[in-house]
Amino acid sequence: MEFQDILYEKHQGVAKITINRPEVLNAFRDVTVREMIAAFEDAWDDQEVGVVVLTGAGDRAFCVGGDQKVREKGGYGGTRGRDMGIGLDVMGLHEIMRNIPKPVIAAVNGYAIGGGHVLHVLCDLTIAAEHAVFGQVGPKVGSFDAGYGSAYLARVVGEKRAREIWYLCRRYSAQEAHQMGLVNKVVPKEELMTEVDRWAQELLERSPYALRILKASFNADTAHIKGIDELAMGALALYYDTEESMEGRNAFLEKRKPDFRKFYR
Ligand SMILES: CC(C)(COP(=O)(O)OP(=O)(O)OC[C@H]1O[C@@H](n2cnc3c(N)ncnc32)[C@H](O)[C@@H]1OP(=O)(O)O)[C@@H](O)C(=O)NCCC(=O)NCCSC(=O)CCC(=O)c1ccccc1C(=O)O
């Protein structure tokens, strides 16, 4: 399979998807999301694959969410139909990550910020390098994920923490993320992929049918969030059309503080 924005490799039962846009800290655009979905579909269909690893190219970032440099008024300008009008089929990506009946491990090799943070949260397991940085930035940059990004995060870290993460938009170290149950293990940077491979090999020794049913069971408990996700993505599409949202994006690109005071209601 030929890809433009991702690297996709399969080796001894492990499929590895690497977001390959290090020049923008592995931010995703329409084609990136489409390719990630295609890779997850391939990993789902391939009976030789038992585990999927998701990571980012380079050592600065796992993923920092949507590419703000291609976002315009109204959204990211890509896929229509499945994308709820935001120009990225993030909803489809979240769905396949949750539904693929094989464990997905996030190998967090740097920033996991915004929509990139949501991606690691949705992985079954997260292994982080010591220098990794976690957080949401939506209310600073004129965006939000009020579906899995907020509701499922609250399941992982609890309501108070999830609200803090989204409302304040702070950055958290790998150790802090570990303490709040956001990541399974923190390792030195140079040991990240070895550790991830160790976890993958251990999973490959387990019964795939048992893992499949366990994943379905864990998912069933939060399946209602799918409906919230659809509403949230629809709301995001409307928000991307507003001046308030554009103030966040413009401030980020202009490297200044956003001024949201004029939008108080
Ligand atoms: C990631 C940072 C915390 C890194 O900060 P710092 O180390 O100070 O580096 P910078 O100088 O800021 O950045 C270096 C370089 O990278 C560019 N860059 C960083 N992030 C992005 C991005 N998202 N898109 C494009 N480019 C980016 C930055 O401009 C610099 O380039 P120069 O050319 O050198 O200037 C910090 O950069 C940061 O906070 N980035 C913003 C991240 C962001 O805005 N993400 C998108 C919002 S996501 C969100 O909050 C939830 C929404 C969501 O999940 C979603 C749902 C549905 C569709 C889309 C999304 C979505 O993710 O948007």
For the stretch 147-163, pLDDT in tens is 999 999 999 999 999 99
Predicted TM-score of the model (pTM)? 0.97
Output the CA torsion 150→151→154→160 (10° steps). Answer: 70
Listed range (22-31, 81-90, 126-135) with the worst mean pLDDT: 81-90
Indicate the residue type of 149: G
CA of 68 to the centre of ligand 1 (A): 6
CA of 218 to the centre of ligand 1 (A): 31
Q: Residue 85 has what pLDDT? A: 87
Distance CA 198, CA 97 (A): 21
| Reported confidence tier of residue 166, pLDDT bands at 50, 70, 90 | very high
CA of 193 to the centre of ligand 1 (A): 24
Q: Residue 82 has what pLDDT? A: 78
Residue among 113, 104, 150 at smallest CA distance from 135: 113
Give the position, in ligand 1's atom list, of the atom nearest the Cα of 141. 44
Most informative mutation of 24, 25, 72, 118 for ligand 1 (most atoms within 8 A of CB)? 25
Q: Which residues are annotated as a binding site?
A: 64-68, 76, 111-115, 143, 240, 255
pLDDT at 4 > cutoff 90? yes
Give the position, in ligand 1's atom list, of the atom nearest the Cα of 253. 29
H/E segment holding residue 133: strand 133-135
CA of 213 to the centre of ligand 1 (A): 36
| Reported confidence tier of residue 265, pLDDT bands at 50, 70, 90 | confident
Q: List the residue whose alpha carbon is closest to atom 53 of ligand 1.
A: 115
> If you compute the radius of gyration of the chain from its CA atoms, what whole number of angstroms results?
18
CA of 47 to the centre of ligand 1 (A): 36
Q: List the residue whose alpha carbon is closest to atom 35 of ligand 1.
A: 253
Q: Which residues are annotated as a binding site for substrate?
A: 64-68, 76, 111-115, 143, 240, 255
Q: What are phi and psi of 9, to 5 degrees?
A: -130, 150
Distance CA 116, CA 108 (A): 10
CA of 102 to the centre of ligand 1 (A): 29
Distance CA 152, CA 146 (A): 10
| Reported confidence tier of residue 233, pLDDT bands at 50, 70, 90 | very high
Q: By the 8 A CB rule, do 66 and 28 touch?
A: yes
Tens of pLDDT, residues 67-116: 999 999 999 987 667 788 899 999 999 999 999 999 999 999 999 999 99
Distance CA 27, CA 66 (A): 5
Distance CA 165, CA 178 (A): 14
8-state DSSP, 150: I
Mean pLDDT of the chain, nearest integer: 97
Q: Which two tokens stand for residue 198?
A: 């160790």
Q: List ligand 1's pocket residues with C-beta within 6 A.
A: 24-25, 27, 64-69, 86, 88, 90, 111, 113-115, 118, 136-138, 141, 143-145, 149, 236, 252
Domains and CATH numbers, the chain: 6-190+207-220 (3.90.226.10)
Q: List the residue whose alpha carbon is closest to atom 59 of ligand 1.
A: 66
